[in-house]
A and B are shown apart, each in its own frame.
Chain A
Amino acid sequence: MKIAIASGKGGTGKTFLSTNLAAFLSKTEKTALIDLDVEEPNSGLFILGENIHSEDIFRFSPEWDRTNCIMCGKCQSCCNFHAVLKVKDAIMVFPELCHSCYACSELCPTNSLPMKKYKIGVLNHYKFNELDFVEGRLDIGQEQAVPLISQTNDYTANRLQKVIGIYDCPPGTACPTVESVKDSDLVILVTEPTPFGLHDLKLIVKAMKQLGKKFVVVINRSGIGDDSVEDFCNSENIQIIAKIPNDRRIAEEYSIGNLVFDKFDFVRAELENIKAYILKAGGSI
Chain B
Amino acid sequence: MKIAFTSTGNSWDSKIDPRFGRAEFIFIYDDETKNNDIVDNSGVSEHAHGAGPMTAQIVTEKKVDIIITGNGPGGNAARVIESSGIKVFTGAGDMTVKEAYDAYKKGNLTQS
Q: Which residues of A contact B (CB under 8 A)?
A: 81-83, 85-88, 90, 92, 94, 96-97
Contacts and interface: CB of A to CB of B under 8 A. Distances in A.
Interface residues of B, number: 13
Given A96-B76, A97-B76, A85 B83 contact: no
B54 interface: yes
A88 B84 contact: yes
A81 B83 contact: no
Nearest to B63: A88
B56 interface: yes
A90 B84 CA distance: 10
Contacts of A97: 49-50, 53, 76
B54 A92 contact: no
A96 B53 CA distance: 12
B60 A81 contact: no
B84 A85 contact: no
B65 to A, nearest CB: 14
Interface of B: 47, 49-50, 53-54, 56-57, 60, 76, 79-80, 83-84
A83 B80 CA distance: 12
A254 B56 CA distance: 49
A92 B49 contact: no
Nearest to B59: A87
A271 B54 CA distance: 53
A85 B49 contact: no
Given A94-B76, A96-B76, A83 B50 contact: yes
A269 to B, nearest CB: 47
A92 B60 contact: no
Contacts of A83: 49-50
B80 A85 contact: yes
Nearest to A94: B76
A90 B81 CA distance: 12
The 6 closest A-B pairs by CB, nearest first: A82-B50, A97-B49, A97-B50, A94-B76, A85-B57, A85-B53
B60 A88 contact: yes
B1 to A, nearest CB: 18
A96 B74 CA distance: 13
B83 A87 contact: yes
Given A81-B49, A92-B83, A96-B76, A87 B60 contact: yes
Given A87-B56, A87-B57, A92 B50 contact: no
B84 A94 contact: no
Contacts of B76: 94, 96-97
A94 B50 contact: yes
Contacts of B83: 87-88, 90, 92
A81 B50 contact: yes
A92 B79 contact: yes
Nearest to B85: A88
Residue in B50, B79, B84 with the greatest tally of chain A CB atoms within 10 Å: B50
